[in-house]
Amino acid sequence: MPQGCGTWPAIWETDEANWPNGGEIDIVEGVNDQGPNTITLHTSPGCTMPASRDQTGTSLQLDCNTAVNGDAGCGVQAPTALSYGPTFNDNGGGWVAVERTSSYIKVWFWARNDASVPTDVENGALSVDSSNWGTPTAYFPNTNCDIASHFDANNIVINLTFCGDWAGSVYAFSGCPSTCVDYVNNNPSAFVNAYFDFASLLVYT
């Protein structure tokens, strides 16, 4: 996973031509090496999440509407620092899984040394059974959000932004030196580990 002051790596899904009406799922996202991972939905109006739900992560804002609170979305913070950034890398990475149905969107994370990682996930099986995966890190039910109408066919996006709206705006509070733009411009050697390395990327239908 990309790391370094000024970095904003993300693994996400959206329909670029129909955003935000087609929805957005931020699966892995963070800035300036500040974990843990934040999993977030961004939608058109009319999609909110219940405060109490069956997940291991911590709910943040409950309204997924992009027009609310500067497009913060309805986020869930993962319960472990091993889910993001240098801590994730130093621990050997891990597994992230997403399940999307018309009833819910679920996201799981297992660290590399997690004894509870399901066998089908660990081995990249030809078929998987999410009913054996335990409680998800983030759970977004259709209680007050019609998943089918707020999310259309999405593309998987994997990108790294330097500074930008998020990493740049909170840079001064991240314990990083100088300003975001100056640091990125003047320290190319600081970004030798600013890249993604995937063992596999599997899609099941």
Catalytic residues: 24, 29
Alpha helices per DSSP H over the chain: 85-90, 119-122, 147-150, 164-169, 180-186
Backbone phi and psi for residue 183, each to the nearest 5 degrees, phi listed first: -65, -45
Residues 6+ apart with CB under 8 A from 73: 24, 26, 40, 41, 42, 43, 61, 64, 66
Can you tell me the distance from the alpha carbon of 13 to that of 155, in angstroms, rounded to the nearest whole number? 5
Can you tell me the distance from the alpha carbon of 138 to that of 32, in angstroms, rounded to the nearest whole number? 22
